[in-house]
Amino acid sequence: MENIPVAGGELSSMSLGQGPAVVMLHGLATGNMATWYSSFASPLAANHRVVLYDQRGHGGSSVPASGYDLDTQADDLEAVIAHHGLDAEPFDLVGHSMGALVALHFALRHPQQLRRLVLVDAPMPACEYVAPSLKGVHSREALAAYAEKELSAVMGHGGRRREKLLNRLNALFFESTLVQDVLAMQSEPEAGLAALALPVLLVYGRQSPCLAVGKHLLRVLPRATLAQLDCGHYIPEEAPKALLAALEAFLISSQLHSSAAIAPTAEAALP
């Protein structure tokens, strides 16, 4: 485990495996490196160098008072890339939920640094898909209710783990600009999306409230493929085997942009 200095704090990070580099970004609130480690990073490391990190305010990283906007988090990602020496040649980038929004924002700023992009249930714009569930959290009691309702699929029931998560969420919600930053997150410009020439895999849950976003991105991004899985928004936890199969088909296959390579295992579906 390594600590990487960024504006306002430090990020906890790790690297495993050898080969073409893949950087994986977790989602908001309950996410951290563990989201990807066992079910995804470990098997992918057989053919890739996989880099993971806890985003600011998450996991083993510090909880800065600000910097949860997409620009600052894209800067954080750039610091991780430089720390691990991945800026010499293009790498693959994978993000889930808020991590997918950071990944997409980075891709639009630095398309030349990427080889391929995977967006797992990106909730764009966050001000519409994420912010409503955050607005009612104005006390510790409301936070516990929010966690029970919105995050029960990934929180688990262990007392110690649950209490640790709630303490971190308390700092994020009441001692940082996280909520304000999410409220300000708009959709990426259509012109920028239409100009992104990278191969992009979109993975969305059929029961996810964000599925319409995936279908929209499929229409706008020039080299996108959409895989729909039988699950909701928390795909890494709800459908890990199907998601891993989709990632392997997209990242390992020599066919960089082929829905046929994904369809047999990940149930690719084009509307």
**Segments forming the whole domain that contains residue 67:** 2-127+187-266
Residue 165 in domain: no
Residue 255 in domain: yes
Q: How far apart are CA 79 and CA 77, in angstroms?
A: 5
Helices 159-174, 140-150: inter-axial angle, 10-degree rounding: 120
**Tokens 């509307």 label which residue?**
271
Residue 87 in domain: yes
Residue 10 in domain: yes
Residue 149: helix, strand or coil by DSSP? Answer: helix
Asked whether residue 154 carries a pLDDT value surpassing 70, the answer given is no
Residue 168 in domain: no
pTM for the structure as a whole: 0.90
- Is the Cα torsion angle 58, 60, 65, 71 positive or negative in sign? negative
Q: Give the domain CATH number at 98.
A: 3.40.50.1820
- H helix intervals, the chain: 42-44, 70-83, 98-109, 126-129, 131-135, 140-150, 152-155, 159-174, 178-183, 190-194, 211-220, 235-238, 240-252, 263-266
Number of domains in the chain: 1
pLDDT at 167: 83
Q: Tell me the per-residue pLDDT of 8-56, one tens digit each, with 9 for 90 and over.
A: 999 999 999 999 999 999 999 878 999 999 999 999 999 999 999 999 9
* CB of 103 closer than 8 Å to CB of 188: no
Measured in degrees and rounded to the nearest 5, phi and psi for residue 25 equal -115, 130
